[in-house]
Amino acid sequence: MTWLDAVPVVLVCAAWLILPGLPVSYALGLRGIAALATAPTITITVTAFTAVAAGKAGVHWSVPLVIGVHLVLALLAGLGSLLLRRRTARREPDPGWVLGAALLVLVPTAVLGAFGLVPGFGGVETLAQSFDSVFHYNVVASILDTGNASSLSLGSITSPSVTGAFYPAAWHDLVSLVVLSTGTSIAAATNLLAGIAALVAWPIGCMLLARQLFGRSPAAMVCTGVLSIAFTAFPWGLLGFGVLWPNTLGMAMAPVGLALTASIAGVAEQDVIGRGRAWLLLPLCFAGAGLAHPNVVFTMAALGFFVVMAGMLRRRARLRAEGRGARGTIDLLLVFLGYALVGLWVVTTPVFLPVRRTYWPPFESPLEAARDVLLNSPNLKPALWVVSVLVVVGAVLSIRRPALRWVVCAHALSGVLYVLTASVNAHGSQRLTGYWYNDSFRLAAMLPITGVPLAVAALVCAATALLKARPSLVPWLATGLTAVVVAATGGLYAREHADVLAPVYQTQGRNPDFTLVDDSELAFFQRVKDKIPAGSVVANDPWDGSALLWATTGRRVMSPQLGFDVPEPQKYLADHLVDAGRDPKVCTVAKQLGVNYMLIGKGLFWPWIEAPKQLYPGIADPGNRPGFRLVDSDGSSKLYQLTAC
């Protein structure tokens, strides 16, 4: 599939993220950028919870099911809005040019992003060659195989004997819907949906936050849309590390969560959402983020603290002016105390202890990490000088504007968290950074959430200052200044962003040690696909790339995930399958798991790590040992049928 061939699938990915939730947002009374930007959040949340409910009810996962649920919710939301119409004040919608500006800038933003995405991915169906990607691909394969997309069960794909293993599956649910509705491959659906999350959902979420910060400003819409994809840390950093597709999807919701919080806190400029709707949507946003990736919940809560405090300070000032200053102070202290108590529970509860103990070695000094925050070059990436100057100037200007001070404070917090994990990562700091796995990439991804509006503030203020006498021309000047930024940064650092993606997606011919499967192995998988009956399970060592047989052909493998231990009962076959002709217990376990075949791959991923080499001694070429029949081979890649059983 060429990139031109992929255009219809790209449109389907965009449709799946936006269209199901759009009728619901409109039925709730949202209009313009508010309706458009909240639609992906509604889609993600409703889709993930539909999957959970369907799994519990035993209903097969399907496209009509998801569409039907969204339509029913839109109908219910519409009825609710009609019933409450007289009780709620009608909110004046934005002029059409606000949404028009957002839509007009979205296309060039996506095109500019494609200049980094396309060369970074290489091909539409290029497989990401990483530790985590195998699991994510195979979760989608499991959904397509079983018709169960529930987050409450997909964690058990690595061990079928364990039921009810939770794994947040909003990402995988959406990828499966793209596959079901287009017939494209899992790899293509994954790459294209990741691109839409990064280049469509994220920019419109940022534009909603900008709308809440800057009011009805077409200049802010234009600047925000373009600048949202300029930062390496996000979305590019998460797409090129891990790879963290679920985290990317969740982080695209974070600006929407802050925009909703701004409505509730009363700090939005000409609020476009409304407090009542925000109270309804914010819990949905948190729930959806939790089913996309839980650390996004912590991101929104941490940054949202400053939004809430800004609102409480504004409320205290208003009450003081009314002669009720004591009431405002007490309310402020109570809200702060509530946050403090929740924070105390989070840092002391053993619930998060396994996550907090995740260790990544520090790789730079605190001073170097702070420099990286200022230059937007986290994790040893190139400095983004132009964007960084805009962020610093925007921060200085925002400090002087009470409505924007919370953005500066939130940005500072993100910077501190990054510095702690990149340069310290000790027991004490892990109480603050552990909810992001003490991972500098995940924490760095928080910086653009506030970095984008700070950079926008710099451009909008510059345009406004230069055209004080002719304010009607400010949007045009802001657009021109944004174009200058694009030109000065080489198309928003397109080459640098492609370089961030390439090490994960384009390993063939560059570094065999980082390659799970090459083209010859993928061709072998397709060749043996029809020689493996549907429903059969293939025993394998996932570290040799054979785990990707499931995602690329639909033939299930015994071990679908890279890991450093093997669960029971797969462990017995991992240790002894090669002795099937002499060990009767092998057949007992093989029948229990449905194993009829064994696949041998070319070589091990990350061969310098010793532990995986000891995990699968029983998954080996049997040679002339009894109990096996060679079905097909291509060099060291071999498929055997288990005849001993």
Q: Which amino acid is at 505?
A: Y
Query: CA distances (Å), 235 to each of 441, 494, 503, in order?
Result: 11, 13, 16
457-481 residue pLDDT tens: 999 999 999 988 888 899 899 999 9
Phi, psi of 324 (to 5 degrees): -120, 45
CB 489 within 8 A of CB 113: no
Neighbours of 204 (CB within 10 A): 28
Phi, psi of 632 (to 5 degrees): -165, 160
CB 185 within 8 A of CB 235: no
CA atoms within 13 A on the CB side of 619: 37
DSSP 8-state symbol, 623 = T
Sheet holding 595-600, edge to edge: 556-557, 537-540, 595-600, 637-642, 628-634
CA atoms within 13 A on the CB side of 485: 30
CA atoms within 13 A on the CB side of 326: 0
Domain ranges of the chain: 7-504, 513-642
CB 6 within 8 A of CB 124: yes
The per-residue DSSP string of 141-182 comes to: HHHHHHS---TTTGGGGG-TT--------HHHHHHHHHHHHH
206-248 residue pLDDT tens: 999 999 999 999 999 999 999 999 999 999 999 999 889 999 9
CA 273 – CA 75 distance, rounded (Å): 20
Element of type H or E holding 57:
helix 32-57
What is the reported pTM?
A: 0.95
282-325 residue pLDDT tens: 999 999 999 999 999 999 999 999 999 999 999 999 999 888 88
Query: CA distances (Å), 598 to each of 385, 537, 632, 633, in order?
Result: 53, 9, 11, 12
Q: What is the mean pLDDT of residues 152-162?
A: 75
Does the pLDDT of residue 90 top 70, yes or no?
Answer: no
CA 75 – CA 621 distance, rounded (Å): 59
CA 83 – CA 77 distance, rounded (Å): 10
Does the pLDDT of residue 511 top 80, yes or no?
Answer: no
pLDDT band at 159 (very low <50, low <70, confident <90, very high): low
Q: Which tokens hold the place of 138? A: 């195979």
Q: What is the pLDDT of residue 89?
A: 60
Q: In a 3-state reduction of DSSP, which class is residue 219?
A: helix
* Residues shown for the chain: 645
CA 201 – CA 36 distance, rounded (Å): 9
CB 151 within 8 A of CB 50: no
* pLDDT above 90 as % of the chain: 86
CA 498 – CA 503 distance, rounded (Å): 9
DSSP 8-state symbol, 636 = T
